[in-house]
Structure formats: structure tokens, C-alpha cells
Amino acid sequence: MTQQYSPSELLICLASRVMEDGTTAFIGTGIPMLAASLAQAMHAPNLVPVFEFGGTGAILEKLPLAVGDMRTYNKGIAASGICDIMETSQRGFIEFGFLGGAQIDKYGNLNSTVIGDHAHPKVRLPGSGGGNDVGSACWRTIAIMIHDKRRFMEKIDFVTTPGFLSGPGAREEAGLPRNTGPYRVVTNLCTLGYDDETKRMTLLSLNPGVTVDDVIENTGFELLMAEEIIQNDPPTDKELKILREEVDPDGLYRK
């Protein structure tokens, strides 16, 4: 029987499973780092992590504390800089981009800039960092978020990172690369994707113990439903062992 696990550990394992072997992935600080490290240890030994400050292809033997940590270069294939990395994504060489945010809407637009009016905000957030670049240029973006109505909103307060903007064709009209955009949203309740035609967020699978009604109750807009909504498997004993003993033994992020 699977051991008990925390909500953060579940998020890390679910995000890790999305990472495919032999692909490039733009990795941010926190849960994406743990997920990438776990993926390399579990099923994706040839995953190429890309970090904003210039580390490419690091073997994540020890958890980096930030995207500029020296461990983001460990046994890597390149050590460059921010401009090189952003240009690499603009040239179409980065397949996955992992993002977070305070708010998200049904088209996958993300806000990490302000809560409230931009000129007179209630809360000023960290801002874009590389979020806009990742969402604009990577082929497929994956958002990792806590799921509640304050975050999943009909209209977000500010578009920091473009998703599908206002719907089908909007990214292309804005000059963004064709066939790029949001791919998945991994939350503490479920995994969501996007409908090919309408570009709207769609419920794909539920986390253990979560119902469709739970997801609807915590979403501030109408979700589309996949034809078959499946159940996400809980973290396995092997995943938890690697995560706790090798990836983050000090519990810096997983707790």
C-alpha cells in the first residue's frame, strides 16, 4: 500500500510524470525542480532541463535552491546566460515550459504581476521573470497551481503570461508561434488540458479522493469535461523514497 503523502508530494509526482524522456524542459524554482529531478531518476534519464540563468542539461543529483544555483550546471552540456536561453526558446528548441501563477483563466492565461488594478493593486506579485518568455515561445506549457476560485477565475486581473489569450487563433494574431501554448494544468485536485477547437480548459483526470463536484466547486468558470475522466494514481512507494531520500531530503519544498 502506498505511504501517506503530502499535497506537495502529490503535485511533484504528477508534474514529474508529465515530463517525457528525451525532451527539453524549461524549469523554474520550486516544484518544477523537484519534478525534473524525480523524472530523471524514475523514467526520463535523458530529460534535458533548461534553467533561466544558463544551465542546460544538468544532472540533478542535488536539489538546486534557485535557477541560478551552481547545481543547475552540474554535469550539464552548456553553461551560458539568460539571453542565450531566451533565444533558444524563441528558436523553438524548448519543448516544455513549467509555470506558476496567482491566477489563471479558462484559456490558460496566467497572472503573476498584481492582484487588483495594475495602477493601484491590492497586492503586487513578483512579476513575470521568465514567465512571459516561456509562455510565448515554448511549444507546450504546464502550469502547476493550487486549485481554488481565487486562482481559477473567469477574468484574471493582469495577463503576465499568454495562454490562448481570447480563444482560437488569438495567439497567432498576436504574433506568437503557431501550434504553441498551454498543454496541462497540474493542481492539488486534478489534471486539466485544453480542447483543441475551443482552446478552453478541460478536466482530464482526478486526484485520489477528489470528485468532479469538488473541482467544479473550486473553479470560477465553466470547465469542459473529457469524454472519460480518469483517476490519477497516488505517488508510488518508489517515487516517495526517491523524493524524500534523494531529491529533497531536507524537505525544503516538498513540505
Q: Which residue type occupies 151?
A: R
CA distance 20 to 8: 21
CA distance 203 to 213: 11
Chain centre distance of CA 58: 19
Beta bridge partners of 51: 27
3-state DSSP call for residue 111? strand
Rg of the chain (C-alpha set): 17
CA distance 97 to 130: 10
How many Cα atoms are found within 13 Å in the side-chain-facing hemisphere of 250? 5
| E strand intervals along the chain | 24-27, 48-51, 55-56, 78-79, 96-99, 103-104, 110-111, 114-116, 121-124, 140-145, 181-187, 190-194, 201-206, 224-231
List the one residue out of 177, 207, 208 whose CA is nearest residue 192. 207
> Looking at the annotation, which residues are catalytic?
52
DSSP tag of 102: S
Cell of residue 121, nine digits: 493593486
CA distance 215 to 227: 16
